[in-house]
Structure 1
Amino acid sequence: MAFNKRIKIKDLIEQGAAQTSATLMGWVRTKRSNKHVSFIALNDGSCIQNYQIVADPNTIPEETLRKINTGACIRALGKVVASQGSGQATELLAEEIQVLGESDAEKYPIQPKKHSMEFLRENAHLRMRTNTFAAIFRVRHNLAFAVHEYFHKKGFFLIHTPIITASDAEGAGETFRVTMLDLKNPPKTDSGQIDFGQDFFERETNLTVSGQLEGELAALALSEIYTFGPTFRAENSNTTRHLAEFWMIEPEMAFYDAEDNQNLAEEFLQYIISFALEHSKEDLEFLDKRAAEEEKAKKAELRSEMGLLERLQFVTENKFVRVSYTEALDILRDSKPNKKKKFTFPITDWGTDLQSEHERYLVEKHFKKPVILFDYPKAIKSFYMRQNEDGKTVAAMDILFPGIGEIVGGSQREERLDLLVDRMKELGISREEMWWYLDTRKFGTTPHAGFGLGFERLVQFVTGMGNIRDVIPFPRTPGNAEF
């Protein structure tokens, strides 16, 4: 059997030629039969459309037809003919059908009916066979491809930064420890502490929370680099916005200042979303209809004013508004929702960290465009961000999108050794442990900048899914590492 001689459903639909022979392979979505004929809807994952196979019981043995049920994998050979029904231009008149592997119709959980998202998460090993999840992961692929294409065209180099590290780039302390020590009887020091000097790496190590710091080292040699890899946060959170394992895109650029950083991030986001609109058109149209149905089920005050495709075009067709944190805070403080106490988190003093509701108000109500906020208070940002001359703010920026709020965070990095060391002292960050990072400020330092984009947050925005667990194939969350 030559499996590689099959034609993908996507290619067959695009060719649209009748009176040719074809071999299709895929999974049965539905089968409906009468005593004269069976109609089988087949999908092979190559596109959103199913392809209809017409099976005559005089040609296909009844024993074979009995095994063809939802979830079964089959190989069908036949002639492509003009379709007699609506919904498709052509169909396959089967001359031979083979069931590949076992098929237990009664036990297959993904039946042709509406299933809850929670049920599908519990069956994550099969959920990609549904239209919704197949569409999501095809879109995810195109977004990932667009990321690499964009940076390749710009002359950036991909750097694979460590997954196991001894540093905590964010300073959050919520990391997954990596150890080979005997957890039942770990070695101890004279003071009674666990002796990590006897561990595999001879020191405490954890899974990375970010590739940024190592990315900076690479940028200060190759000028423009990006990382695209898994990151991990041991945050005990069960919200729709958090994962314990997720993917981050983090470009770092030498000879860039804060404005250069904003320009790159805006161009980058518009490029990859435009790529998805062009190359995932049918999947996004399907997800747009799905999102519209979801919106109908929400309370009126929680509904989005824009459909999914409208939100994507809103980002690609509008120049991003740039506004300082201080100006944005004044706008929010004087806004009707704040004055009428409709914000869950009221805006009061300068220095308040903005919440999603504030970010969405700026984008969706006030400016009606994507927004880049810059010059945040130093006290609420990380140690590595470049301090501004006012002594109160840093050259940080966040990009805000409709429906989701912050999607990108970045900054110009602090290249001045004395100011960086002083900031680390303020925050209690060990100079000895970060000697290698400080070395880059001693030898050939230069202004440089970068940003981070959580890939799942991007996929969530582009697909319109309400829960971030539904845009990664096998989500890792508290209590969940089954698949």
Structure 2
Amino acid sequence: MKIIDIYKEFKKLKKEITVIGRVRSNRQGKAVSFLVLDDGTYAKDLQVVYKPETIGYSQFSETRVGAIVSIKGMIIETPNRPQPFEISATEVILLDNCAEDYPLQKKEHTLEYLREIPQLRARAKTFQSTFRIRSSAAFAIHEYFIKQNFVYMNTPIITENDAEGAGEAFVVTTRKDAKYDQDFFGKKASLTVSGQLNAEAMAQSFNSVYTFGPTFRAENSHTNKHASEFWMVEPEIAFADLVKDIEIIEGLVKHVIDYVLKNNLEDLKYCESFYEEGLIERLQKMSNDNFEQVTYKEAIDILVEASKKINFEESNIKFGMDLSTEHERYICEKHFAKPVFVTNYPKEIKSFYMKLNDDGITVAATDLLVPGIGELVGGSQREDSYDKLIERCNELKINPEDLKWYIDLRKFGYFKSAGFGLGFERLVMYLTGAKNIRDVIPFPRTPKNLLF
């Protein structure tokens, strides 16, 4: 049996059971010995009691932390102890011992040290809880969209377009001379920075679609929330405006939180003890709160007023600036103390595909800012005017011919569309309280870091 199933059913299990797991500790005594076992399925370990007369007892004198063992025995309820039950073993078998230099001995290890051994760190309770929450969050995302009748789409990983126009894409090539016309695809290709443009085309056929896959940014950033390879959730909704976009964003985030609170409570308790005191209460509050909404101009006014009392690192606050993380966090953590949608950003600091508002200055865009993270989601209504989209490309020195297939969608019965991108790792950071994106990805890819 798996440990998670034993915890769920221990009151009903009246027969001898067998469990295989990894040794966390093995404390031997003359009359009775205690073994703590983990199999990765649950936040709580399994305590096993065995005595000298237990079958296989002689093998266990040299059983080390990290060894794989098989235990057969009966469940004994222990209502007056920290654990509700333990296994009284009738048989203990050492399946495979662990080397003495096993890096994860029974002591505290720093997160920095564990990042150097990602092939082993998932055996630590912190990362087991983190990655189980990550798995549940991914399932909840799919569940939400499928229930909303979205169609799941896989967009290309290798592409010829840079959807964000930032020029921070990884080139994919078989050549050393940059003669891309002679390359595998006959043109310059790169790893995708976003599946949005492709998803937008699919939404015009299916009404509502979403992608959920890896994206890549060749951005030389060393912050605690940037990675070179990360996962993005990118829905696209045809015939929708920014109001509908915001509705879908809030519904998705709350659904994921509710799912994790229901299905990963023990993991959240462990993350709360390790990462962030009050984590569960914070998530419950976010699930029950109505998210705030302000315009970018209103956000700037709030920051200008706050700067009279607070020394922001970026103190030259004015309309047209790109909000930094400290500004975003002040707005959602201090001023409103809840998640906040900021809307109608200046067009100069947003992407070419966002719909120009009637003022000709701002675009119908939104960022969802959440306490502890800052920006979690970025979305917009897409520009539906063929002429305005061409004009925006020219303004940003993007060759319209390179995006002809995308721009031409406006000529073939487009109407309007809206969508957003949610950084999955940032969501997992928010759910777990983790402070560094490197700790919510099994094998992180960051500048100068390609260990495996």
Query: TM-score, normalised on structure 1?
Result: 0.91
Is the 2:199–2:210 Cα contact (8 Å) retained in structure 1?
A: yes
Question: Which residue is 1:47 aligned to?
Answer: 42
Q: CA RMSD in A?
A: 1.4
Partner of 2:450: 481
Listed as ranges, the matches of 1:12-411 within 5 Å are: 12-17=6-11, 19-83=14-78, 86-104=81-99, 106-181=100-175, 183=176, 186=177, 194-292=178-276, 307-335=278-306, 338-411=307-380
Query: What displacement does 1:89 show?
Result: 2.5
Q: Answer whether contact 1:170 1:210 (CA < 8 A) is retained.
A: yes
Residue type at the aligned position of 1:35? K
Q: Is the 8 A contact 1:67 1:103 kept in 2?
A: no
Contact 2:170 2:217 in 1 (8 A): yes
Between 1:132-141 and 1:15-24, the stretch displaced more is 15-24
Distance 1:318 1:243 in 2: 30
Change (3 A) 1:341 1:51: closer
| More displaced 10-residue stretch of structure 1: 373-382 or 56-65 | 56-65
For residues 346-404 of structure 1, the C-alpha deviation after alignment (integer angstroms, 9 at most, x for no partner) is 14321111111111221122222211000000110000000001010000000011111
Runs of 5+ unmatched residues, structure 1: 1-6, 187-193, 294-306
Q: Is the 8 A contact 1:19 1:81 kept in 2?
A: no
Name whichever of 195-204 and 143-152 sits farther off: 195-204
Task: Tell whether the 8 Å contact from 1:311 to 1:402 is kept in structure 2 after alignment.
Answer: no
Name the amino acid aligned to 2:412: F
2:426 matches 1:457: yes
Count of aligned pairs between the two proteins: 451
* 1:448 and 2:442 aligned: no
Q: Retained in 2: the 8 A contact 1:315–1:401?
A: no
Are the aligned partners of 2:276 and 2:433 in contact in 1 as well (CA < 8 Å)?
Answer: no
Instruction: List per-residue Cα deviations over 1:429-466 (Å, max 9, x = no partner).
Output: 11111110011011111111000000000000110001
Offset at 1:479? 2.0
How far, CA to CA, are the matches of 1:378 and 1:39 in structure 2?
64
The 1-side partners of 2:179 and 2:372 are apart by 48
In structure 2, relative to structure 1, the CA distance for the partners of 1:166 and 1:292 (3 Å cut) is: closer
8 Å contact kept, 2:54–2:92 = no
Q: CA deviation at 1:84?
A: 9.0
Inter-partner Cα distance in structure 2 for 1:198 and 1:96:
66
CA distance in 2, matches of 1:36, 1:235: 60
SS of 1:425 mapped into structure 2: helix
Cα displacement (A) at 1:81: 2.4
Structure 2, unpaired ranges of 5+: none
> Match for 2:206: what amino acid?
L
Counterparts of 1:132 and 1:311 in 2: how far apart (Å)? 19
Rounded Cα–Cα distance in structure 1 between residues aligned with 2:429 and 2:373 = 9
Q: For residues 79 and 56 of structure 2, what CA distance do their matches in structure 1 show?
A: 23
Q: Is the 8 A contact 1:332 1:347 kept in 2?
A: no
Cα contact 2:51–2:57 (8 A) shared by 1: no
Distance in 2 (alpha carbons) for counterparts of 1:170 and 1:456: 19
Q: CA deviation at 1:241?
A: 1.1
Give how far 1:32 is off.
0.7
CA distance in 2, matches of 1:263, 1:391: 25
Query: 1: CA distance between counterparts of 2:48 and 2:284?
Result: 37
For each residue in 1:303-362, what CA deviation from the matched residue of structure 2 results, as whole angstroms up to 9, or x when unmatched? xxxx21232123211101111101111111112xx0135111114321111111111221
What's the offset of the Cα at 1:113? 1.1
Show CA shifts across 1:221-256 (max 9, x none). 111000000000111222211111100000000010
Q: Distance in 2 between matches of 1:377 and 1:165?
A: 28
Q: 1-side partners of 2:18 and 2:195: how far apart?
A: 46
Q: Distance in 2 between matches of 1:164 and 1:52?
A: 49
Do 1:257 and 1:448's aligned partners in 2 also have CA atoms closer than 8 Å? yes
1:394 partner SS: coil
Q: Secondary structure of the equivalent of 2:119?
A: coil
Residues in 2 aligned to 1:58 and 1:227: alpha-carbon distance in whole angstroms: 57
8 Å CA contact 1:67–1:99 kept in 2: the answer is no
- CA shift, 1:62, in A, is 4.9
Runs of 4+ that moved beyond 4 A: none
Q: Report the counterpart of residue 304 of structure 1 in structure 2.
A: none
Q: Work out the CA distance in 1 between the residues paired with 2:60 and 2:78.
A: 21
- SS state of the match for residue 100, structure 1? strand
User: What is the alpha-carbon distance in structure 2 between the residues aligned to residue 36 and residue 280 of structure 1?
Assistant: 37
The one-letter amino acid paired with 2:340 is V
Percent identity at matched positions?
48
Structure 1 residue 263: Cα displacement: 1.1
| Residue aligned with 1:137, SS | helix
